[in-house]
Amino acid sequence: MTHPAFSPSNVAVVTGGASGIGLAAARRLAGLGMRVAIADLGGDRLGAAETLLKEHASPENILAVATDVSSTPDLQRLQEIVEARFGGVDVLMNNAGIQPGSSIFNPDNWDRIIAVNLFGIIRGSQVFGLPMIERQKPGLIINTGSKQGITTPPGDPAYNVSKSGVKTFTEALQHTLRNIKDCQVTAHLFIPGFVYTPLTAGDRTEKPAGAWTPEQTVDFMLERVSAGDFYILCPDNDVDRQLDERRILWSANDIIRNRPPLSRWHPDYAQEFTDFLNPRD
């Protein structure tokens, strides 16, 4: 059973919809007969995505709106344009994200990463959320987080901070939604694994064996949202659910066992972590 929000003629908005996971989602939702608005930074990428989507769906069902999700006026304008063209929104995918790299004592990139990855999702949920609730129809707000916001590996602290914020915000959003009388909108935290997209490609020209395609990831998301999951924890070809569960549990145990933070990457805990991943019965 597919979630009723994914019905033909219903309306989806996908931020970061001109590339990678967002574009794959837009294509999949348009393929279901939905009317789809992609919101992304203006320019060639957005134009090319619009052309591609129109080739694979009814062109009148596709809308492309140049939007910077770090700008609240841009998000408000997006909401108004979609409402005027398609009517109310059934599915909001707050998905736009960047990963330009960061380090603790270098202030570069921090503001932009937080503005796009975290505030883009907070403001997107705020701008679209109330009108979605007021429609009194089943609706979905799907926010793209990351495993890096849960186990927070060393190497890109600003990205991790932004994605931990997405997790916290989306949990609070769903708690709020479920306490609003007769609310039919639910929020979901979409946690992709390693997905081969321009964000992760680097110098690669071919998908590494360990990565999933954006299409696989979107199919998994649709299946798990339809099953009612809040945490949509995607595997990839290297990391299965069981491994993710052990890593998440280890991370939570840093607090419970009073270990150093990020002990998974602390040499004194290397053997203990390896043993934890492979428990003997």
Ligand X SMILES: NC(=O)c1ccc[n+]([C@@H]2O[C@H](COP(=O)([O-])OP(=O)(O)OC[C@H]3O[C@@H](n4cnc5c(N)ncnc54)[C@H](O)[C@@H]3O)[C@@H](O)[C@H]2O)c1
- Amino acid of residue 187: A
Q: How far is the CB of 89 from ligand X (least distance, A)?
A: 17
Q: Which residue has the tokens 């062109």?
A: 59
Q: How far is the CB of 109 from ligand X (least distance, A)?
A: 12
The one segment of 50-58, 64-72, 100-108, 243-251 that binds ligand X by CB under 6 A: 64-72
65: which strand partners? 39
What is the total count of residues that contact ligand X (CB under 6 A)?
Answer: 29
Q: What are the angstrom distances between the C-alpha of 53 and each of 35, 61, 62, 209? A: 11, 9, 7, 27
Catalytic residue numbers read 159, 163
Phi-psi group of 262: left, alpha or beta (phi > 0 → left; psi -120 to 50 → alpha; rest → beta) = left
94-123 positions binding ligand X, by CB under 6 A: 95-99, 116
**Which residue number, 81 or 199, has a Cβ lying nearer to ligand X?**
199
63 lies in the binding site for ligand X (CB under 6 A): no
Strand order in the sheet with 62-66: 62-66, 35-40, 11-15, 91-94, 139-144, 185-191, 231-233
79 lies in the binding site for ligand X (CB under 6 A): no
Which residues touch 16 (CB under 8 Å, ≥6 apart)?
Answer: 22, 39, 40, 69, 95, 96, 97, 144
The one segment of 5-13, 39-47, 125-133, 261-269 that binds ligand X by CB under 6 A: 39-47
**Which residue number, 133 or 165, has a Cβ lying nearer to ligand X?**
165
The one segment of 93-101, 202-210, 221-229, 262-270 that binds ligand X by CB under 6 A: 93-101
Residue 252, token pair as written in the block: 């939570």
18 lies in the binding site for ligand X (CB under 6 A): yes
Residue 30, token pair as written in the block: 């348009």
Residue 53, token pair as written in the block: 């989507």
200 lies in the binding site for ligand X (CB under 6 A): yes
Among 11, 21, 82, 221, binds ligand X (CB under 6 A): 21
**Which residue number, 45 or 259, has a Cβ lying nearer to ligand X?**
45
Among 6, 86, 119, 194, binds ligand X (CB under 6 A): 194
Using CA of residue 20, residue 21, residue 26, residue 30, what is the dihedral sign? positive
Using CA of residue 197, residue 200, residue 206, residue 209, what is the dihedral sign? negative
Among 47, 198, 210, 228, binds ligand X (CB under 6 A): 198
Helix axes 20-31, 44-56, angle to 10 degrees: 30
Among 61, 146, 152, 174, binds ligand X (CB under 6 A): 146
**Which residue number, 89 or 116, has a Cβ lying nearer to ligand X?**
116
Enumerate binding residues for ligand X (CB under 6 A). Answer: 15-16, 18-22, 40-41, 45, 67-70, 95-99, 116, 144, 146, 192, 194-195, 197-200
